Amino acid sequence: MVMLIATGNAYGKYLDFADAEVGDRFWVVEHVPYSGTIKSVRAYSVTEINSKTVLCHAEEGKALKLKRALPQENCYLDTDPYFQNIARTVQISTQVQAVKKLVKEHETMDFDQEVIDAIMAWQKRVSARKIAAGTQP
């Protein structure tokens, strides 16, 4: 049973670790300093609880030592719709960057008609969505 509780309002969300239990899972969204750009989204698990701190570990990356008494910013439960939107955006962005890199690395003759048709069909869908939304003349 997850004992982590999301708190906050429309201006900010926080995760309260006062009642955290070993095994609780949550996500940390790391931002580029002084920017709204997301650097990473990483899953953590609570591994140790002391009177004043909570120690958390991720599969990759550094361990976190959080104060139990302070609500933590940029921490989310996987059921949070706001976090789900962030995670989906980061996943798509990562995939797009990988595809762009692949396209740049290959010669024109490496592309077959199937790839070209897929890109052109995607472009038509994007244009149709923009026209329907009124964002394209």
Q: Averaged in consecutive runs of 10 residues, what is the pLDDT profile of the chain (137 residues)?
A: 63 81 92 84 94 92 89 89 90 92 90 91 93 79
Summarised one tens digit per residue, pLDDT across range 67-92 is 998 889 889 998 888 899 999 999 99
Rounded CA-CA distance 50/70 in Å is: 14
* Confidence at residue 32, expressed as pLDDT on a 0 to 100 scale: 87
pTM of the model as a whole: 0.74
In which element (H, E) is residue 49 found?
strand 38-49
Rounded CA-CA distance 75/27 in Å is: 5
* Confidence at residue 12, expressed as pLDDT on a 0 to 100 scale: 65
DSSP conformation class of 82: H
Cβ–Cβ < 8 Å for 97, 36 = no
Q: What angle do CA 37, 91, 88 make, to 5 degrees?
A: 90
